[in-house]
């Protein structure tokens, strides 16, 4: 537990930085990092950029896999997760563009796109550290309530609550929010060697209580991390209000 979103971001950025540096990645043995979108990871990304600018961290030998992407939103739309990631992180660090993997929500064959994503993750030896965020309904990536806990990368219809929550990024126009997304599955996240989750704000307090204090439950998919041997949830004070 840290005091506020900025302290959470600093803590996670330093943690990820140390993990990457201790791993000592090389072109032959890159560090495979899973990444989230949303407003919660923004302070973490700011702190990571600062670590790169001050010479304490490099993304040269880091391969990234993003968690999810909207279906049907043009790649250059400001709210696509492609645009978000380049705006908030990739354009400010030394990552080679070919090291970036983000699901293509405009692929002709969305099923093959998802299967191919799983194959690419395996090709790199799996994800070393999956950084994640959650929705108000406790979804991890876009694994909405009711998702199978053994799910893998696939097409997912968004819950109405998620569409409402994300309308703030689309000038509060609910009809502009895509209704479908491609997302890594709960099992894809569980397969990574380590998971670090960033959760800030009172809106997430119920999800945190459900996922930590109640049993493993497919209606709060974050709770699946109870089965992971190395999972860390970093919250601010506001997100602890229901604990
Ligand atoms: C979307 C993403 C999730 C993310 C969530 C959190 O739903 N698909 O991966 O965790 O947003 O958003 P925010 O941090 O803005 O609350």
Per-residue pLDDT at 227: 97
Closest-CA residue, ligand 1 atom 11, reads 38
Distance 227 CA to ligand 1 centre (A): 22
Distance 39 CA to ligand 1 centre (A): 7
Per-residue pLDDT at 105: 98
CA neighbor of 68 nearest in space, from 10, 16, 132, 121: 132
144: annotated active-site residue: yes
104: annotated active-site residue: no
* Distance from C-alpha of 190 to C-alpha of 33, rounded to nearest angstrom: 14
10: annotated active-site residue: no
Q: How many residues does the chain have?
A: 243
Q: What is the DSSP string of 76-105?
A: TSTTSHHHHHHHHTGGGS---GGGEE---T
Q: What angle do CA 205, 5, 201 make, to 5 degrees?
A: 20
Contacts of 242 (CB under 8 A, 6+ apart): 205, 206, 208, 209
Residues 41-70: b if buried by 16+ CB within 10 A, e if exposed: bbbbbbbbbebbeeeebbbebbbbbbbbbb
Which of the four pLDDT bands, split at 50, 70 and 90, describes residue 221? Answer: very high
CA neighbor of 120 nearest in space, from 190, 194, 63: 63
Which CA distances in Å does 88 have to 49, 79, 81, 226, 243?
9, 12, 10, 30, 31
Q: Are 242 and 205 in contact (CB under 8 A)?
A: yes
Contacts of 119 (CB under 8 A, 6+ apart): none
Q: What angle do CA 223, 231, 165 make, to 5 degrees?
A: 50
Give the mutation target among 9, 38, 181 for probing the ligand 1 site: most ligand atoms within 8 A of CB.
38
Closest-CA residue, ligand 1 atom 9, reads 141
Per-residue pLDDT at 139: 96
68: annotated active-site residue: yes
pLDDT in tens, 132-173: 999 999 999 999 999 999 999 999 999 999 999 999 999 999
Q: Which atom of ligand 1 is nearest to the CA of 203?
A: 16
Phi and psi at residue 127, to the nearest 5°? -85, 130
In the chain the domains, ranked by start, together with CATH numbers, are 5-240 (3.40.50.1360)
Which of the four pLDDT bands, split at 50, 70 and 90, describes residue 238? Answer: very high
Pocket of ligand 1 (CB under 6 A): 36-40, 67-68, 133-135, 141-142, 162
């Amino acid at each position: 537990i840290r005091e506020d979103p900025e302290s959470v971001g600093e803590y996670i950025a330093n943690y990820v930085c140390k993990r990457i540096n201790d791993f000592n990645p090389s072109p032959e043995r890159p560090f495979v990092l899973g990444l989230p979108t949303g407003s919660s990871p923004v302070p973490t990304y700011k702190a990571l950029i600062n670590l790169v600018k001050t010479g304490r961290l490099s993304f040269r030998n880091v391969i990234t896999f993003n968690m999810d992407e909207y279906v049907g939103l043009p790649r250059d739309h400001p709210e696509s997760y492609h645009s978000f990631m380049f705006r908030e992180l990739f354009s400010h660090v030394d990552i080679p563009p070919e090291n970036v993997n983000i699901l293509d929500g405009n692929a002709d064959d969305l099923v093959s796109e998802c299967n191919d994503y799983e194959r690419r993750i395996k090709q790199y030896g799996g994800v070393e550290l999956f950084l994640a965020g959650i929705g108000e309904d406790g979804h991890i990536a876009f694994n909405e309530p009711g998702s199978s806990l053994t799910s893998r990368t696939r097409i997912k219809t968004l819950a109405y609550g998620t569409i409402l929550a994300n309308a703030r990024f689309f000038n509060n126009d609910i009809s502009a929010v895509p209704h479908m997304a491609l997302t890594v599955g709960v099992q894809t996240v569980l397969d990574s060697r380590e998971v670090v989750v960033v959760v800030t704000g009172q809106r997430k307090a119920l999800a945190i209580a459900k996922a930590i204090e109640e049993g493993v439950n497919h209606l709060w998919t974050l709770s699946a991390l109870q089965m992971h041997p190395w999972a860390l949830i970093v919250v601010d004070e506001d997100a602890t209000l229901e604990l």
